[in-house]
Chains A and B, each alone.
Chain A
Amino acid sequence: MTTVPAAAIPRLQSREDLWRPLRGASRPYIVAVALAALAVAWGLIAWGYQIHQGIGVAGIRRPVMWGFYIVNFVFWIGISHAGTLISAILRLTHAGWRRPVTRVAEAITVFALMIGGLFPLIHLGRVWLFYWLVPYPNERGLWPNFRSPLVWDLTAIFTYLTGSVIYLYLPLIPDLAELSRKTGGWRARLYGLLCLGWTGSDRQWRALERAMKLMAGIILAVAVSVHTVVAWDFAMSLAPTWHSTIFGPYFVVGAIFSGIAALLLVMAIARKALRLESYLQPMHFENLSRLLVLMSLLWFYFTVAENLTVWYGNEPQEMSVFGARVRGPYAPYFWVMVLCNFVVPFVLLGVRRLRSIRTATISAVAVLVGMWLERYLIIVPTLATPRLAAAWGSYSPTWVEISITSATFAAMTLLYLIFAKLFPIIAIWEYHHVSDG
């Protein structure tokens, strides 16, 4: 992968290039939106069917009471680390190459959190009783249990979503102000409303930059805590292989790993579909590919550390889960996970000669598959193999769970397609702002 020097694109040219995708809608775009909307509609029908018939239409049975829905919850919360966390790290380290990447990443975070946050509701079955979980002072005879990691989840995800929406919105304001002047009709009204009267004064720029710096620091602390808390949903229980002290960092590493993969995939698609080759350059893929390899090594290290201690300890209940994972009914998934999360990215991106945008995209897809399998392998085998052997069971997802799972991937695509049509996917002002390297 060769590094092309950052093109000195004139300001007017960059505006034309980056605003072009906002105009009109090509046939492939309309087809993509229609297909994604159809898949989302099918998922909604499946969810409606589940609400009407009851949670029994899903494959979750005793002892496996957490199935695809919780796998998807953990997976999407992990993907959400693509944006805000990566963008915050790059912003705080003044990585100049981040500029065309940050907004692509930040949007992934917001959409992934919105999708991930839906799964506890879907999993609940009786979704209309959701407010029973909200721990407000009440007289209904319910004792709100603040000591439950599930309530911790609620507060962590709410904080992360609030922070991520603000973190995405703040750097959009200057672009929205320019767009409100350059467009007409409903777009001008929408952008005019959202830009809050931005005039581009130095007071506004300084306040914006200060806020972005502060937010980057705060959001890092939130992002790390969010996935640690998700890990504690498991680690705070005494279930075999879940009660582990490294689950917090293991989940955070996995989340950043899958987040970078999601970012690479979206960048590759946006580059081709929106003709942004001059902005999303091979250099950006090269840098993110290196990060992906680094995270792959870290993930491998954590996976070995986690499994080796279980194997060496030889505790019977833990060994049952370990055996089911590496040589039992879940072994094919386990070894595909190792292939996708370690072998593929390590070979394709670790060997310099093989590194390219195409291999980065292939690796990203492999990692996303591998990380989804990892979430599945953490949750299902442990629940299927509880301490009492007489209670062992199995889990098979039904069409309802598969439909809802597929719909969430379509929802991500749909939300991103709409976002890319409404807002510039690269921050124009940041692209030309050179002072921070």
Chain B
Amino acid sequence: MYLTAEFEETNSTAAAILALKTQGMEAQALDVFSTEPVEFAAGVLDRPSRMSLFAVAGAVALCLLSVGFVYYTQHDLPIITGGMPFFSFWATGVIFYEFALLGAIVVTFLTMLWESGLLRRSGPAPELQPGRIYLRVRCRPEQEAAAAESLDRAGTLRIERTESDS
């Protein structure tokens, strides 16, 4: 089941998150919703990311692919070049550079889609009001009372209960 608490400002939301974590709730069970990004201090609700790593991997992958593509394409057609090299690494460096950046761009976009959970449904999302912050807690029925108490103590405006994802 889900509890969704509405808050007016960041500090009380952070206090609620810390209280819930103290009770044993995992960060994976907590989600904050808002119409603008909300920034908490480090350690409150961290979301580790591998986006930069994937971007670099994407750049390297597409760069290598372009090197292979250019090499293969230039050798695919036997042609007499009067002793000139078929494949010139330096003269085609711009292409490898551009493909490396294209790889980084595309992989960053795909990683963003994956890490954000877009295109996937994950529990009920609250109806957002501009300027308000919503903290959604996924908990078992036996945890509900303690979680609601923590949310109340942190200064929530109201709490909504939802039984399932539907």
Contacts and interface: CB of A to CB of B under 8 A. Distances in A.
Interface of A: 11-12, 15, 135-139, 141-144, 146-147, 149, 151-152, 155-156, 158-159, 162-163, 166, 170, 173-174, 178, 196-211, 214-215, 218-219, 221-222, 225, 229, 232, 429, 432-433, 435
A202 B119 contact: no
Contacts of A146: 70, 73-74, 91-92, 95
Given A143-B77, A215-B108, A435 B94 contact: no
Nearest to A221: B101
A210 B125 contact: no
Interface string B15-57: 0000000000000000111111111000001010101100100
Report which residue of A143, A201, A432 has the largest number of chain B beta carbons within 10 angstroms of its beta carbon.
A201
B73 A196 contact: no
Contacts of B33: 199-202
B163 interface: no
Contact of A159 (B34, B52, B79, B105): B105
Contacts of B73: 135-137, 144, 146
16 contacts: A137-B69, A138-B76, A141-B77, A146-B74, A155-B98, A166-B105, A197-B119, A202-B31, A202-B32, A202-B47, A203-B31, A207-B49, A207-B51, A207-B115, A432-B131, A433-B37
Contacts of B83: none
Given A146-B73, A203-B115, A429-B37, A152 B98 contact: yes
Given A143-B77, A163-B101, A166-B105, A210 B36 contact: no
A313 to B, nearest CB: 27
Contacts of A158: 98, 102
Contact of B91 (A143, A147, A432): A147
Contacts of A432: 36, 130-131
B160 to A, nearest CB: 15
Interface in B107-144: 108-109, 111-113, 115-122, 125, 128, 130-131
B62 to A, nearest CB: 10
B64 interface: no
Given A146-B91, A203-B116, A207-B47, 8 more contacts: A146-B70, A197-B121, A205-B34, A207-B49, A207-B116, A208-B116, A432-B36, A432-B130
B112 A433 contact: no
Contacts of B34: 200, 202, 205
Contact of A199 (B47, B94, B99, B125): B125
A222 to B, nearest CB: 5
Contacts of A198: 118
B152 to A, nearest CB: 21
A35 B106 CA distance: 38
Report which residue of A139, A199, A203 has the largest number of chain B beta carbons within 10 angstroms of its beta carbon.
A199
Contact of B52 (A201, A205, A208, A214): A214
Contacts of A214: 51-52, 55, 104, 108
B88 interface: yes
A218 B101 contact: yes
